[in-house]
Every structure is written in C-alpha cells, then in structure tokens.
Amino acid sequence: MAGKLSTPAVRAGILALVAIAIALSLAVPLRSFVRQADENAALAADVAAKEANVDELTSKIAQWRDKDYVEAQARSRLSYVYPGETTYVVVDEKGAVTNPLPPPNATDLGSRSWYERFWDSVDEAR
C-alpha cells in the first residue's frame, strides 16, 4: 500500500486536493474583506459629502445671522421697504411684471405636514 501512495500521480492528486481545500477556505474571508473595503470606501465618501453639506449649511447660518443680509433678502424677496420709501414695480411694454412679487402661499404643500399648514393658517389669520 505504501507503494501506491508514493507514485507521482497520487502525490499530485493529494497536493491538488490540499490546494483546493486551502483555496476554498480562504475564498470566503477574502470575499468578505473585499466587500468590507468597498463598503468602507462608500461610507467614507458619504461622510465626506455630509461634512461638505454641514459646512455649506453652517455658512448659510452665518449669512442669516448678518442683519444686513437679512435686510437685503427681505427687500429683494418680499419687497419690504422702510417707512417713507416708495416701492416701484417695473412693467414692460406688454404689461407683464418683470420681477413679480412671490405669491402669498408659494410653499409646496406636499412636503409639509397637515399640522404645520394648520398652524401657519392660524398665524396668518391673526
């Protein structure tokens, strides 16, 4: 029996079986490692995007804390004026307003809940 196991074909077959067993035992952890590396890269990109969004929102908050910016926005968006100032609306030759005032309720109702719309209507009624 020892003579049969010592032949080169049997040894090559046993070596091939051992190599296949090692390859199969390493395949699952290696696949998990690659998948986790991809997930880590995707999460890092997501974190970077969220940090950029936070920085943008922080700069917007800083803008809105500036009283001059708030005044400029109120004047341009809502056509607010100080007492004693005169407001002009420019109309072209066809009678169309070139810079119309925003409609009173220009908010998207689908994105707001019913109770937010309810309290807004209560505030407007006062």
Which tens digit of pLDDT belongs to each residue from 68-120?
A: 999 998 888 887 888 888 877 777 777 776 665 555 555 555 677 888 888 88
Q: What pLDDT shows up at residue 109? A: 59
Q: Is the pLDDT of residue 62 over 70?
A: yes
Residue type, 69: Y
Bigger pLDDT: 121 vs 5: 121
Q: Is 3 a member of any domain? A: no
Q: Is 120 a member of any domain? A: no
Q: What pLDDT shows up at residue 39? A: 95
- What is the distance between the alpha carbons of residues 77 and 102, in angstroms, rounded to a whole number? 7
Q: Is 110 a member of any domain? A: no
Q: Is 114 a member of any domain? A: no
Give the residue ranges of DSSP H helices in the chain. 2-5, 8-65, 67-78, 114-125
Closest CA to 77 of 97, 104, 57: 104
Which tens digits make up the pLDDT trace of 16-57? Answer: 999 999 998 888 888 999 899 999 999 999 999 999 999 999
pLDDT band at residue 66 using 50, 70 and 90 as cut-offs? very high
Q: What pLDDT shows up at residue 2? A: 55
DSSP 109: G
Closest CA to 47 of 84, 55, 85, 4: 55
- What is the distance between the alpha carbons of residues 117 and 110, in angstroms, rounded to a whole number? 10
- What is the distance between the alpha carbons of residues 28 and 106, in angstroms, rounded to a whole number? 56
Q: What pLDDT shows up at residue 103? A: 56
* Number of domain units in the chain: 1
Domain holding 26, by residue range, is 9-101
Q: Taking the mean position of all CA atoms in its chain, how far away is CA 124?
A: 33
pTM: 0.45
